[in-house]
């Protein structure tokens, strides 16, 4: 029944323009969406956004309604424009929605108290968003000079700190840590590792195959977050972990095992997996972040000032705090 209804609706509203086009012996222009890279590839005439494609009772479905659904995900048609099938599918969905909504009103569902509350909530959200957009329109202005000035005054915000990826074992006492260190240092994996004479001369303990370390982490580490993963600590930036642990870790080379380190929670053995060096991001690389930050600040200021004025005329009563 539903499929038949859809087909009848589509036939009524889609056959008319096709017949007219055939009479005029001209091709029917394909409607295209908003100006996007994919849409620009189409060579057909762009249809007016207010072009009415169909009606359900007193309600109209326009080209802009279809476009809004088609381009809700801006990446969907980045590489190629929507096909006729895509457009008809969206139109079909909109028509079905309107048919069902029309019937819901006819049967009185729009008067149901629960639905009335939901509809009012949705209406308030839409109106609130629309008011904000009207309030901000033409008032937000961020210049390149302002962004450069912000960058120069706040360079620290755009500095990528060194990042580390480690394995570690956490135990309660130095004796436990010393015992595990000796066990790994004398392991077969370490004896066969590619530390070489340079590592020996620098008194470094290299573990190029860390499975021994991981096994000991599972059975001995009291760090419940990392022990099940063989002591693996995901990437973190300098300043996010125990300062003493970070200090030692930064001085290690990749695949090097530390000697026991006294930290805030106990004694650590650290195996360094990788590190990225800190770097200052350029203004050009930071520009989009600065722009969005400054736009957001201006918007908050404009909306805040408007709210301060509005609250003088609109009563807001706080009755209770949320649970």
Q: How far apart are alpha carbons 94 and 92 in whole angstroms? A: 5
pLDDT exceeds 60 at position 189: no
Q: How far apart are alpha carbons 304 and 137 in whole angstroms? A: 15
- Per-residue burial over 126-146, b = 16 or more CB atoms within 10 Å of its CB, e = otherwise: eeeeeeeeeeeeeeeebeeee
Counting residues of the chain whose pLDDT is more than 70, the rounded percentage is: 80
pLDDT exceeds 90 at position 43: no
Domain ranges of the chain: 2-111, 125-158+282-323, 162-277
pLDDT exceeds 80 at position 315: yes
- Under a CB-based contact definition with an 8 Å cutoff, are residues 160 and 238 in contact? no
pLDDT exceeds 50 at position 21: no
Q: How far apart are alpha carbons 168 and 45 in whole angstroms? A: 64
- Under a CB-based contact definition with an 8 Å cutoff, are residues 269 and 180 in contact? yes
Q: How far apart are alpha carbons 260 and 177 in whole angstroms? A: 6
Q: How far apart are alpha carbons 66 and 49 in whole angstroms? A: 9
pLDDT, position 142 = 95
- Under a CB-based contact definition with an 8 Å cutoff, are residues 285 and 307 in contact? no
Beta bridge partners of 256: 206
Given CA atoms 289, 290, 294, 300 in this order, what sign does their dihedral have? positive
Determine the average pLDDT of the residues in 130-145.
94
pLDDT exceeds 60 at position 169: yes
pLDDT, position 209 = 72
pLDDT exceeds 60 at position 35: no
- Under a CB-based contact definition with an 8 Å cutoff, are residues 91 and 69 in contact? no
pLDDT in tens, 197-255: 555 545 788 887 788 899 999 999 999 999 999 999 999 999 999 999 999 999 999 99
Determine the average pLDDT of the residues in 36-65.
71
Protein fold of 162-277:
Chitinase A; domain 3 (3.10.50)
| Mean pLDDT of the chain, nearest integer | 83
pTM reported for the whole predicted model: 0.54
Phi and psi at 184, nearest 5°, equal -75, -40
Strand, coil or helix: 93? helix
Residues 6 or more apart in contact with residue 79 via CB below 8 angstroms = 38
């Amino acid at each position: 029944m539903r499929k038949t209804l859809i087909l009848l609706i589509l036939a009524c509203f889609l056959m008319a323009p096709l017949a007219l086009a055939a009479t005029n012996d001209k091709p029917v222009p394909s409607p295209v969406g908003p100006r996007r890279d994919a849409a620009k590839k189409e060579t057909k005439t762009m249809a007016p956004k207010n072009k009415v494609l169909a009606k359900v009772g007193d309600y109209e479905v326009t080209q802009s309604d279809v476009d809004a659904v088609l381009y809700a995900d801006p990446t969907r048609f980045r590489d190629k424009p929507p096909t006729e099938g895509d457009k008809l599918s969206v139109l079909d969905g909109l028509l079905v929605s309107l048919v069902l909504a029309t019937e819901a009103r006819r049967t009185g569902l729009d008067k149901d108290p629960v639905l009335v509350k939901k509809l009012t909530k949705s209406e308030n959200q839409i109106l609130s968003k629309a008011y904000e957009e009207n309030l901000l329109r033409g008032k937000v202005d961020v210049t390149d000079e302002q962004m450069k000035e912000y960058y120069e005054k706040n360079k620290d915000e755009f500095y990528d700190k060194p990042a580390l990826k480690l394995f570690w074992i956490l135990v309660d006492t130095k004796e436990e840590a010393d015992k595990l260190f000796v066990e790994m240092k004398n392991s077969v994996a370490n004896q066969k590792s590619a530390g070489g004479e340079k590592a020996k001369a620098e008194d470094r303990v290299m573990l190029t195959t860390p499975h021994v370390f991981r096994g000991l982490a599972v059975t001995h580490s009291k760090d419940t977050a990392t022990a099940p993963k063989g002591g693996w600590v995901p990437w973190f930036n300098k300043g996010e972990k125990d300062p003493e642990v970070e200090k030692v870790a930064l001085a290690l080379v990749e695949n090097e095992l530390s000697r026991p380190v006294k930290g805030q929670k106990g004694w650590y053995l650290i195996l360094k997996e990788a590190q990225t060096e800190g770097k200052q991001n350029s203004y050009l690389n930071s520009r989009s972040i600065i722009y969005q930050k400054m736009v957001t600040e201006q918007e908050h200021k404009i909306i805040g000032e408007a709210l301060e004025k509005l609250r003088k005329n609109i009563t807001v009563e706080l009755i209770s705090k949320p649970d």
